[in-house]
Structure 1
């Protein structure tokens, strides 16, 4: 009978200096760790160093590694996180009345293409309760109006925390989150915006794009912040457009781009490949 050596993912950032890679490698070697994948980046603009390491280690428990890493990292001023590689990321998805991104994420999840565990779907409409049921995912209908926004968001956050969600995906959830909810979800909420940010922020970007006669339409997956459509960008892509396209043409073509961009962002986040760098991101693909 064979046993699998536990694998972990270590993410870290700190002020850049010589010897960091050597020190991290030495730390893992001393504890019987075998590095399976490693990537690094030093940002000359900010003077920060970023690193992602996947390693296998059976000589020490996860708790022991965390404790020892905290002591080790303090000497470098490191911000570090350790994750068990085999654990899928608990995820809650928010959606309104456009279901293409939701449908795509659910299919990829059940096909084993995303390292997530969809724990719940929350919507301000009832349209996709049957889709949720077909994947055996709890569906929560929480109507949102100006008068009930605070109560609705409190219920949303209650569900998110009860499910232990490490990731919240706004899969075309067409509501602006309050500043308080954005702060509660900081660093773990991804939105898909149906435009190539920073162009055409806010509502109806395809109408804005059509009005400007653009030759490219795009989609942007970014972390949610209190500043509308201003969060750190994880992934973007574009599709061609021309003068014959109607708003409906752009919208239909954009749906595919939105789904693909969001899926890549969710994949990289769930594999702990995205590190925050101020208002930007470092993505170790």
Structure 2
């Protein structure tokens, strides 16, 4: 199947959709699905088009052919092969529920990705990785070795042609340099409904505050801790009888679901940045 996805972000003006559909018509393309959004506040326009071509074309060829329109409308335009599976590198520490969920969803065909490797600063999940025949990389880290350990991660990203790095409860704060190197292609799951309870031990913070709702947030990684553009969130109701440990158990399920949704949205090219916010097409 010669299926492709075109995503566009640009200043909103008349003629954008007309020019895009005209380009597709010229190439005898058939639109399978299209979604658009015009932000009245930022005056930005966002578009995602899933289309089919009768004759296969390379991504470079399509980009070159579309360049005239992209320049005309000052577009950030990207074209992707809709059938190509994204390659993931998962980072994890000692909480493995999100890792286990991503492995199962991928293995069972629910998540259209290839998990190229797992990196951890502990050895706890080497056996789990082996059971799924996924390479496991033990990169221990201390304050003294952080720079070299993060370089190992970057080397692996390059070596394995990684499209997305997933922080599946990786409990290390990334350096500014690593955040910049992975900008736009690293997703973190934070175990609270941001912007509430940032930082460490959010379930204990929530328990002390006596909240009635807890949640989880998947966001892009930035140098500002837990401040990256939010991709996906969900919540669960809790009550006064629940301990911090009980909140953690409930929250673990929410985290796994939220992270899987965020990963799917990213690899299906449904997310466009709108400043420090996101447009997520369903």
What is the alpha-carbon distance in structure 2 between the residues aligned to residue 152 and residue 162 of structure 1?
15
Q: Which residue of 2 aligns with 1:103?
A: 100
TM-score after normalising by structure 2: 0.98
Equivalent residue for 2:184?
A: 187
**CA displacement at 1:60 relative to structure 2:** 5.5
Q: Is contact 1:93-1:169 (8 Å) kept?
A: yes
Aligned twin of 2:14: 18
| Alpha-carbon distance change, 196 to 73 in structure 1, aligned in 2, over 3 angstroms | same
Partner of 1:51: 47
Structure 1 unaligned regions, length at least 5 = none
Residues of 1 paired with 2:264 and 2:224: CA distance? 24
The answer on whether the counterparts of 1:31 and 1:60 sit within 8 Å (CA) in structure 2 is: no
Equivalence map 1:231-270=2 (5 Å): 231-270=228-267
Verify: 1:61 aligned to 2:89, yes or no: no
Between the aligned partners of 1:104 and 1:121, the Cα distance in structure 2 is 13
**Does the 8 Å contact 1:193/1:219 carry over to 2?**
yes
Q: CA deviation at 1:59?
A: 3.5
Residue number among 272, 277, 280 corresponding to 1:275 in the alignment: 272
CA distance in 1 between partners of 2:222 and 2:112 (Å): 24
Aligned-residue offset at 1:47:
0.6
Q: Does 1:207 align with 2:180?
A: no
* Cα distance in 1 between the residues matched to 2:55 and 2:137: 43
Report SS of the residue matched to 1:230: coil
Deviation per CA, 1:102-147: give whole Å up to 9, x if none: 0000000111111211000000000000110111110000001111
Alignment of structure 1 residues 77-156 onto 2, 5 Å? 77-156=74-153
Identify the range of structure 1 (172-181 vs 62-71) with the bigger mean alpha-carbon deviation.
62-71
| TM-score normalised by length of structure 1 | 0.97
Gap runs ≥5 in structure 2: none
Deviation at 1:22, TM superposition (A): 1.4
Does structure 1 conserve the Cα–Cα contact (< 8 Å) formed by 2:236 and 2:250?
Answer: yes
Q: Which residue in the other structure is 2:34 paired with?
A: 38
Of 179-188 and 17-26, deviating more is 17-26
